[in-house]
Amino acid sequence: MTLRKVVTIASSEAIGDVLKKGRRQNGSLLSLTYLSRSTEEALPGRVAFIAGKRLGGAVWRNRAKRVLRAALAQAGGPRAGYDLLLIAKPRTAASSSDEVARELTVLFRKAHI
């Protein structure tokens, strides 16, 4: 499986905006926060992969972000017109990308995106 390049949310202001104004769906392996960027679906979806220091050292945080990236690719990639924050939870790094992808698909369905 090849991972395609996704457009990431680079600025902390944009991430803060999604956290403040967006909606959240929680799972046992990750949390999905999303905000519609426009009523127009033509805008590409943007994503931020977040793994806080409470998850452990850099190795665990980087593994968690790799698992999130692979899970997003398996779940169909970012949704057009949305900013997504995929926030790792303590069990994310120890889980397979298949498990996380299944949960992400459920969260997308719950969020109606």
Query: Hunting for tokens 């949704």 — which residue is that?
Result: 79
Q: 7-111 has which CATH code?
A: 3.30.230.10
- C-alpha 53/C-alpha 18 separation (Å) is 20
| Per-residue pLDDT reduced to its tens digit, 85-111 | 999 999 999 999 999 999 999 999 999
- What is this structure's pTM? 0.90
Contact 110, 40 (CB under 8 A): no
User: How high does pLDDT run on average in the chain?
Assistant: 91
| Per-residue pLDDT reduced to its tens digit, 10-41 | 899 999 999 999 999 999 999 999 999 876 66
